[in-house]
Amino acid sequence: MKRNMVLKYVATGLAAVGVFIATGCATTDTVSSRFPQLQENINAAKAADAEVYASSPLKSAEAKLAAAKSAVASKDMVSASQLVDEAMADAEYARAMAPTEKAKNAAMELRKEIQVVRDEISKMPTVK
């Protein structure tokens, strides 16, 4: 009787270990599988004019993508994963920052134009 109980526990434990191993091997979220999503984020940032208005974070994202690919080639998956995460954040920041900077620049141009009009008005002779 005791022997059957021990065999049940051993069999259950082996089955659980097998499930954990199979689950670990079946993971599809590898670093290199995240490259297409990262490239899409970089392209979205470029489409939002990040090259003009948020060039620093965009360049950082592109550099980190290249470094991550290099790390994958050298089998340094920990560094590659960290670089992909950082590049994703940089690309998202560039995509979000570009419209804001564009709007700031447009507002500054309007302020300059308003000031020119005010100056012209102040130079006009007064009408009596």
Listed as ranges, residues in the chain with pLDDT below 70 are 1-11, 13-29
Structural domain including 69 reads 31-122
pLDDT at 29: 55
pLDDT in tens, 23-60: 555 444 588 899 999 999 999 999 999 999 999 999 99
pLDDT at 93: 95
Give me the number of domains the chain comprises.
2
pTM check: above 0.85: no
Q: Indicate whether 105 and 46 sit together in one domain.
A: yes
pLDDT at 41: 94
pLDDT at 125: 86
pLDDT at 50: 92
Q: Which two tokens stand for residue 103?
A: 């709007």
Q: Indicate whether 19 and 46 sit together in one domain.
A: no
Residue at 128 is within a domain: no
